[in-house]
Structure 1
């Protein structure tokens, strides 16, 4: 994967077909959590935390007015990634040009993805392992690798968008 700046503001991504397919599959999984996740799913709770954890009535009222648009925005970001990473035409490389606004949408998606993956492999808010069962070790290795790779993509994009902060 190559992440580079381009003339003007924005990001240019060059992905191998396998990387593009992985991103597309991960976008499907983010969308599934947002669309089908139950309210007691810890990953969904990390994506949409309570605005008022100490006031259940205020939290429900706030959620009533904001949850739909938050979920829609997150699903649109995942759809944008799916659309851009389509390799049905058999390409070996996928070149994606993102303007600054689109790039920030991708960063939103990558943040959501990493929150879900962190929850699935038992990483706490601080990124440290909270332990898990040995039965899920292979699945966890795959998810942890996806978590780290998504972080690399995210960091690379941020360096291009704001090189003074890197």
Structure 2
């Protein structure tokens, strides 16, 4: 995987191995499934859509009633854009994706959502926490770390530290 800036700071170019693109597409399906079919008591859904007012049931209910559908819709759209961009059918080779600033920030939204779900599934509460269960689902942990690498690489290109 290679992440590079487009000329003039206009966006991001991502070069993925076909297998990486297929993985991202599959993970986008999983994020969409959690958002669409997730049970209300699913802790991963709770991380994606946290209670804005944990100490005030009425305010929390009103907040959810007025914002949840649009939040879920935005997150599902971000996952769909990733799925569309990474849809490949052949093995081997590379997939090049060019994203303008807006599209790239949408991808970052998706990557954040993905990492929240994966963190919940493998028991990561705090990345620096020494008690994290290192033995839970190596595949999901590797996907969590890889998504963090992609996210970090994109952020470096989109928002470089000015020195």
TM-score (norm 1): 0.91
| Over 4 Å off, 4+ runs | 129-134
Match of 1:34 in 2: 35
Kindly indicate whether the alpha-carbon contact (under 8 Å) linking 1:10 and 1:99 is maintained by their aligned counterparts in 2.
yes
Kindly indicate whether the alpha-carbon contact (under 8 Å) linking 1:43 and 1:119 is maintained by their aligned counterparts in 2.
yes
Gaps of 5+ in 2: none
Match of 1:148 in 2: 145
SS state at 1:54 partner: coil
Between 69-78 and 88-97, report the one with greater CA deviation: 88-97
Match of 1:65 in 2: 66
Kindly indicate whether the alpha-carbon contact (under 8 Å) linking 2:125 and 2:132 is maintained by their aligned counterparts in 1.
no
Q: How large is the RMSD of aligned CA atoms in angstroms?
A: 1.9
Q: Equivalents in 2 of 1:129, 1:83: separation in Å?
A: 37
TM-score (norm 2): 0.93
Match of 1:158 in 2: 155
Gaps of 5+ in 1: none
SS state at 2:96 partner: strand
Residues 1-166 of structure 1: pairs in structure 2 closer than 5 A: 1-8=1-8, 9-88=10-89, 92-126=93-127, 128=129, 130=131, 137=136, 140-164=137-161
Instruction: Report the alpha carbon displacement of residue 88 of structure 1 after superposing the two structures with TM.
Output: 2.1
SS state at 2:77 partner: helix
How many residues are aligned here?
A: 162
